[in-house]
Amino acid sequence: MLTRLSWRLGVVSAVTGLLTLSSGCAPSAAPAAGPSAGRPGAAASVTAPSSEPGQGGEHTVGCDYRRAGEPARPVDPPPATAPATGTTAVTLSFAVGDVTITVDRAQAPCTVNSFESLATQGFYTGTRCHRLADNGLFMLQCGDPTGTGGGGPGYTFADEVDPKADYPAGTVAMANAGPDTNGSQFFLVYQDSPLPAAYTVFGHLDDASTAVVGRIAAEGQDGSWGDGTGRPNNLAAITAVRLG
C-alpha cells in the first residue's frame, strides 16, 4: 500500500534550523519542511566501483534496484551495472524555461543510472512538480507522476550520500523516506538550504536554471501540505525531457 509521505520538521535552531525528516500517512504541521519521498520497503545495496573497467575503459559499479510496490507509470528497472565516470546533461522543460541538470556519475552512479533510465522511458514527461518549500528551506520537489508524494518507479535503491554534503542553491538531490529508500522523486534547490547530509546529491544546476526554478517559486504555494509547504501556484509541469 502506498503511503503519503510527509516532510516533518524535527529540531529548529533560531539561527539555521536543524531538520529531521520522516514519512507518514499525512503531512505533519511544521513551519518549514525538508524533502521526503520514495517508498518504505526493502533496502537496496550498492557495490563499490569495480576494479576492472567496463566497455570502453570506463569504470562501473553494480547497483541493486529492489522491487517496492507498483510503479506510478509502467517502467522497467535500470540496468544493474552503471558507469561511474563522467557527467552528462538532462534538461527538463517548463513553461517558464528550461532547467538543465548536470548529473555526475562519479558522485552517485546508481542514482544517475536510475534517473537517466526513468527520463529515457518518459517517466517524468508530463508530470507536475508537486511540492514547494519557500520558507527556511528553498526547494521544488518533482518526480511523482501521481502528484501525491507517494508515487515511485516500483523499486528502491541505496543512498550514495557524502557525509559532508551540503545543499547550496543549484543542488539536485534525491528525496527519500529514510535510509536507502530512493526512488524517482528528486528536488531542485533554488536558494541555500540547511539540510542534514541525508540526501543523495547527484547533480547541479547552472545559474540560469536555478533562476528558472526561482521564478516558479516566486509565484508561491498553496500551503496544502499543512507543514509550511504546498503545491506550487505555478503549474510546474515538466513538458519535455532531453538527455545530452
Condensed to tens digits (0 to 9), the pLDDT of residues 42-72 reads 333 333 333 345 555 579 999 999 999 999 9
Per-residue pLDDT reduced to its tens digit, 154-198: 999 999 999 999 999 999 999 999 999 999 999 999 999 999 999
The mean of the pLDDT values for the chain is 83
Q: What is the residue extent of each domain of the chain? A: 55-243
Q: Are 199 and 151 in contact (CB under 8 A)?
A: no
Please give the class, per CATH, of domain 55-243.
mainly beta
Q: How many residues does the chain have?
A: 244
pLDDT (average), residues 146-157:
97
> Bridge partners of 208?
none
pLDDT (average), residues 99-109:
98
5 pLDDT more than 70: no
Whole-angstrom distance, CA of residue 21 vs CA of residue 13: 15
Residue 33's pLDDT band (cuts 50, 70, 90): low
24 or 61, higher pLDDT: 61
Contacts for 102 with CB less than 8 Å, ≥ 6 apart: 87, 88, 89, 203, 204, 205, 206
DSSP symbols for 48-65? PPPSS--GGG--EEEB--
Per-residue pLDDT reduced to its tens digit, 111-122: 999 999 999 999
Say what the alpha-carbon torsion angle 108, 110, 114, 120 is, to the nearest 10 degrees. Answer: 80
Contacts for 216 with CB less than 8 Å, ≥ 6 apart: 94, 96, 129, 132, 140, 232, 234, 236
